[in-house]
Amino acid sequence: MQTREWVLTAAVIVIPLIIAAVVTIWSLDQVRYRPKKQRPAPGAARETESTVDGGVSTHTGRSGSGGG
């Protein structure tokens, strides 16, 4: 491979890693400085993801692929 290809390959790998690191650090700082009173309840997110319309759970624990 030529030098230009190595540089482009490195850029494609390094730039997203830098962005991910910056976003992760920013996110952790936000959580650290948020008052505990404003944090959601620990189970609140889990309940909203697994229930639909009136609290009926639609999660069966299987992928639904039908394989044997």
For the segment 2-48, what is each residue's pLDDT rounded down to a tens digit?
999 999 999 999 999 999 999 999 999 988 887 777 766 777 666 55
25 assigned to some structural domain: yes
67 assigned to some structural domain: no
Q: What is the pTM of this model?
A: 0.48
In angstroms, the CA 57 to CA 49 distance is: 9
Segment 53-65, tens digit of pLDDT? 565 555 566 556 6
Domain of 18 in residue numbering reads as: 3-49
61 assigned to some structural domain: no
Residue 17, both tokens: 């890693």
Number of domains in the chain: 1
Which residues are CB-contacts of 32 (< 8 A; sequence separation ≥ 6)?
Answer: none
Give the 3-state secondary structure of residue 57: strand
11 assigned to some structural domain: yes
62 assigned to some structural domain: no
56 assigned to some structural domain: no
Which residues are CB-contacts of 51 (< 8 A; sequence separation ≥ 6)?
Answer: 57, 58
